[in-house]
Amino acid sequence: MSPVEVFADQVRVYFEQVHQEVFADDPASNPCMSVEAVGAAMAKDTPVVILIAPWTLCGLALPPDGRLASTLRVGHSHYPALVNEVDKIGDYWSVMLVPDVSGYASQEEARQKAKSLAEPFRQAVEKARQELTEVADADRRSLFNTVAGKPESAAPVGTAFGNPDGSSSSTQGG
């Protein structure tokens, strides 16, 4: 199984257990819905999936280094991203895309909504991961410094308040 398939299966199994143990008789749980993982894909280096549950519809991401932006732009909306830790899944990030699923009349209706959000969510995670890895990439920082005219190993420049070594600056105004 690929990392994406493993993640989707772990999500489905874990949240099915949560449903049975916590939400099965909860009035906030939509009895027309069941747990399902749809739209499983890779976003750069990160498995993503949309979780359909009788109490919510969430985008889930499993970055290999555990890092993701705290806010994701999915389509035209911004959503907070929260890190979660579950032994059976690991550290994953969740984005509540549809917090109230009580209005869905069927699993198929929820599935269609989840499928419509899958690609925008994947793109949002991919963009966030790209931005994180670009900042962390030392070669890119070095390239930026060279392009910006700042050699990587440039010594600090003296100011009117003195030189970095503590001596007085020779360019003091009078």
Q: What pLDDT was estimated at residue 136?
A: 56
- What stretches in the chain show pLDDT beneath 70? 135-174
Range of the domain at 14: 3-138
Say if 164 falls within a structural domain: no
CATH (domain of 127): 3.30.1460.40
Amino acid identity of residue 129, one-letter, is R
Q: Does residue 159 lie within any of the structural domains?
A: no
Q: How high is the pLDDT of residue 137?
A: 54
In a domain, 153, yes or no: no
Residues 130-151 pLDDT 10s: 998 876 555 555 554 444 444 4
Tell me, yes or no, whether 162 lies in a domain. Answer: no
151 CB-near residues (< 8 Å, 6+ apart): 145
**Is residue 150 one of the residues assigned to a domain?**
no
Determine, yes or no, domain membership for 19.
yes
**Residue ranges of the alpha helices (H) in the chain?**
3-18, 107-136, 138-147
Distance CA 4, CA 85 (A): 18
State how many domains the chain has. Answer: 1
User: What pLDDT was estimated at residue 151?
Assistant: 43
The pLDDT value recorded for residue 170 is 44
Residue 82 gets which letter from DSSP?
A: E
Residue 170 domain flag: no
